[in-house]
Amino acid sequence: MKEPKDTRVVVGMSGGVDSSVAALMLKQQGYDVVGIFMKNWDDTDENGVCTATEDYEDVIRVCNQLDIPYYAVNFEKQYWDKVFTYFLEEYKKGRTPNPDVMCNKEIKFKAFLDHAMSLGADYLATGHYAQVRENDGVYEMLRGVDHNKDQTYFLNQLSQDVLEKVMFPLGHLEKKEVRRMAEENDLATAKKKDSTGICFIGERNFKDFLSEYLPAQPGNMETLDGEVKGKHDGLMYYTLGQRQGLGIGGAGDPWFVVGKNVEDNILYVGQGFHHDALYSDGLIASEAGWTKGEAPTEPFKATAKFRYRQQDSGVTVEPLEDGRLKVTFDEPERAITPGQAVVFYDGDVCLGGATIDTVLKEEEAVTYVG
C-alpha cells in the first residue's frame, strides 16, 4: 500500500457540496488530490448562462481553497451516445428509464474512470453516499451510513474492476455532517442548494424538456374496462402510480395511472391509491450486474428496492437460463415500473441489480403496464 502522499486520487467534482467535501477529506488525509469537472451536457439557461460554466466556477473556487489542481473533461458525445439515446429509446417504448444508473455505468465509472487512470491516478473518488469494503480481495459495496441519502441504488452496476479503484469518502457520514464540514471549512459551496432531478433536465419542466426530443402523441385515457375518462398528452409524460396531471374529476377516490398500451396509445387509469391493477407479485429483469463479479446460479433470498429511496422489500431471486432474473415478492408491490432498476441487498451489502422488463401477477405477465 502506497503512502497517501504518493497516492493520486482524482475526485469527480460537480460543483456541489458533496464532491467538495469529498475532495476536502482526501486532501486532509494527505492524498495527492486532483479535482476534475465533467461536462456531459451542453446547456444554456434563459439568461444565456451555461449552467456548466457556473458549476465549474464553483469547482475552481473550492479547488483553490483546497490548493489542489483542477481540470475539466468533456464527455458530451459519450453521454449523448450511451445515456441520452438510451433514455429516449426507453421513453419511446413506453418505459420509464433511469439515466443515472446508465450514467454511472457508462460515463462516471467507465469513460471518466479511464480518463482518471490516464492521468496516473490510483483511485477515482466521488461524493456518492456509498461505501466500499475489501474482504479477502473481494470488494463489497455497502449502503451509505446515511440511509436517507444512500446512492447504491444508482451504483448497482459497478463491478469488481471498478470497485477496486473507487473511493467514496462520504459513505460513512450523515448528510448534515457533510454540510457541517463544508461550513466549518468555509467551502465556497457550503450553502449551495443540492441539485434535484435528472441532471440534464435540471430545474426545468420535465414535460417541456421531453417534448423537445420526442413527438407527443395525445390519445385516450381509459379504464382497464375500456371506459374513456379523458385525453392524455402523450404516454411518455406519465409513469405508473402517478396521480398528478390526469385532470379527471368527479366523485369517489382520486385517479391514478395504472398502465399504458403503447400499441394503441392508451393510458390506463384507475381509482384509488391502492387500485388492484397497480399491485403485482413478481417481475422479470434483464441486464443484470453483480458487484462481486460472479453471477448467482441458484435462487436466493434478498431484499430489494424497485425505485430510489424506497424501503427494502423481501424477495426471492431466481436466475433464469437465458441470463434474466425472475424476482418473486414476499408481499405484493405497488407500481412496479418497467425500465427502472431493481437492486438487491444482503443487509447493507449491495449485491447488484438489473432492469425491470416485465411485471408478473400470479406468474402471468401483466400486459397493461407497457
Under rule CB under 8 A, residue 72 binds other proteins? yes
199 is catalytic: yes
What is the C-alpha R_g of the chain?
Answer: 22
Under rule CB under 8 A, residue 117 binds other proteins? no
* Interface stretch with other proteins, choices 63-71, 281-289, 320-328, 335-343 (CB under 8 A): 63-71
Q: Which is nearer to other proteins, 120 or 245 (CB)?
A: 120
- How deeply is 48 buried, as exposed, middle or buried, from its count of CB atoms within 10 A (0-12, 13-18, 19+)? exposed
Under rule CB under 8 A, residue 216 binds other proteins? no
Q: Which is nearer to other proteins, 202 or 296 (CB)?
A: 202
Under rule CB under 8 A, residue 200 binds other proteins? no
Quick one: which of 77, 119, 161, 254 contacts other proteins (CB under 8 A)? Answer: 119
Under rule CB under 8 A, residue 73 binds other proteins? yes
Grid coordinates given for 219: 390519445
Q: Which is nearer to other proteins, 63 or 236 (CB)?
A: 63
CA 367/CA 359 separation, integer angstroms: 8
DSSP tally for the chain: helices H, then strands E? 9, 18
Closest contact distance (angstroms) between CB of 27 and other proteins is 16
Q: Which is nearer to other proteins, 49 or 248 (CB)?
A: 49
C-alpha count within 13 angstroms, C-beta hemisphere, residue 159: 11
Under rule CB under 8 A, residue 361 binds other proteins? no
Q: How far is CA 216 from CA 94, 210, 236, in A?
A: 12, 9, 8
Quick one: which of 11, 12, 37, 355 contacts other proteins (CB under 8 A)? Answer: 37
Under rule CB under 8 A, residue 248 binds other proteins? no
Helix (H, G, I), strand (E, B) or coil at 24: helix
Quick one: which of 5, 64, 74, 197 contacts other proteins (CB under 8 A)? Answer: 74
Task: Centre a 10 Å sphere on the Cβ of residue 367 and count the other Cβ atoms it contains.
Answer: 10
Under rule CB under 8 A, residue 58 binds other proteins? no
Q: Which is nearer to other proteins, 47 or 205 (CB)?
A: 47
Helix locations, the chain, DSSP H: 17-28, 51-66, 76-79, 85-92, 99-103, 112-118, 160-163, 175-184, 206-211
Q: 171, 145 in Cβ contact below 8 A?
A: yes
Q: Which residues bind other proteins (CB under 8 A)?
A: 34, 36-37, 39, 50, 52-53, 55-56, 59, 69-74, 76, 115, 118-120
